[in-house]
Amino acid sequence: MQPDLRITLPDDWHVHLRDDEMLEAVAGHTARRFGRAMIMPNLDPPITTVAQANDYRARVLDAAAAASGDTRPFDPKMVLYLTADLSIDDLIRGHQAGSVLAVKYYPAGATTNSASGGTSIISFKPVLEAMAEHGIPLLVHAEATSAELDIFDREAAFLETEMQPVCEELPELSVTVEHLSTAAGVALVRSYANTSGSITPHHLSCDRSDLLANGMRPHLYCKPVINSRTDRDALRAAAVSGDKRFFLGTDSAPHPLATKEAEVVRAGIFNAPYALEVVAEVFYQEGALGDLERFVSINGAVRYGFEPSDKLIRLRRRSEEEVAKDPPADLVTSEGVRVRMFGVAEANLWTIA
């Protein structure tokens, strides 16, 4: 018997929807599969004010409604990018009004559109103190950027030098270590009470040999970089554990194919269309489908102060006799730009409605 289960409608607690025609092309994929989504602010220029966040949210809702053709309510949660220009008053007012849910810290130079980021989190202590006081979560891209550091050691290094001091000095601040990629990240989340971690489908399903061993796979290149098998297994153990501090954030990050198949490849994996199929397959392989709902639909909502959805989705693993679905491998925007989708194999194995 193949698994056939119903779970609460999931949320995506970390997604890049971009803007303009890329937003129009990708928004429906997130809106179709998720009730809420935490919308990353790394546009160029970044979202740093509540007014910008409100405008961006309206564009996201328009694009989602136009594309999804679905009456399911979609609730984008907006995030401000932490820069020296961020106004504490604006942030607090926006948070109280429900316009902004959280603040994101990017180390400058760590990833796509991170040029406006910081060089030290604790240098933002006055903002962080205000956030702790008002219950505003800090979302962290945890990657050290020093050129001397090996690329596979950068998350662990950042946790030690940047994250631990913040967790210790500001124990009241709610921190999410985004897109955990290492066993060290899992351990840090477990060791501070007010800390949680989001985990992506690709960090759960792949390791660095998938990225590098059988030909170099540019479509598996993201930040933080997919790490060792040991790290992948620590992430899987955390995800299936039911521990409420771990939840899904897809980090779906579309890039035009031409920038992924190039001399220098941009970081980011577009997984929104098949993210749930990939995670379902991981939980199936781990014999843990009973814990899937907690990871994709419950833990994150509770963490950010929301009721899990009252809607359900159905996930069914297809039998081998069923005809392959051959789901599309690329998305094409209105301007003809192609974007490679992650998870086609898993999309052939699962049907979700």
Residue 176 interacts with ligand NCD (CB under 6 A): yes or no: no
Q: Is 89 a catalytic residue?
A: no
Amino acid, single-letter form, for residue 286: E
* Residue of 188, 206, 253, 296 that binds ligand NCD (CB under 6 A): 253
Residue partners of 334: CB distance under 8 A and separation at least 6? 21, 24, 25
Residue 199 interacts with ligand NCD (CB under 6 A): yes or no: no
Residue 188 interacts with ligand NCD (CB under 6 A): yes or no: no
Residue 202 interacts with ligand NCD (CB under 6 A): yes or no: no
Give one DSSP letter per residue of 96-140, joined into a string: HTTS--EEEE-BTTSSTT-TT-BS-GGGGHHHHHHHHHHTPPEEE
Give the Å distances, CA to CA, from 343 to 2, 135, 153, 270, 310. 20, 36, 26, 9, 27
User: Which among Zn ion, ligand NCD, none contacts residue 154 (Cβ within 5 to 8 A by kind)?
Assistant: none
User: Which among ligand NCD, Zn ion, none contacts residue 267 (Cβ within 5 to 8 A by kind)?
Assistant: ligand NCD
Give the H/E segment covering residue 94.
helix 88-96
Residue 251 interacts with Zn ion (CB under 5 A): yes or no: yes
* Residue of 222, 235, 278, 292 that binds ligand NCD (CB under 6 A): 222
Which one of the spans 65-73, 110-118, 132-140, 331-339 is the region binding ligand NCD (CB under 6 A)?
110-118
* Residue of 8, 30, 42, 181 that binds ligand NCD (CB under 6 A): 42
Residue 298 interacts with ligand NCD (CB under 6 A): yes or no: no
Residue partners of 18: CB distance under 8 A and separation at least 6? 26, 43, 254
Catalytic residue among 12, 207, 243, 251: 251
Residues near Zn ion (CB under 5 A) are 251
Q: Which residues are catalytic?
A: 251
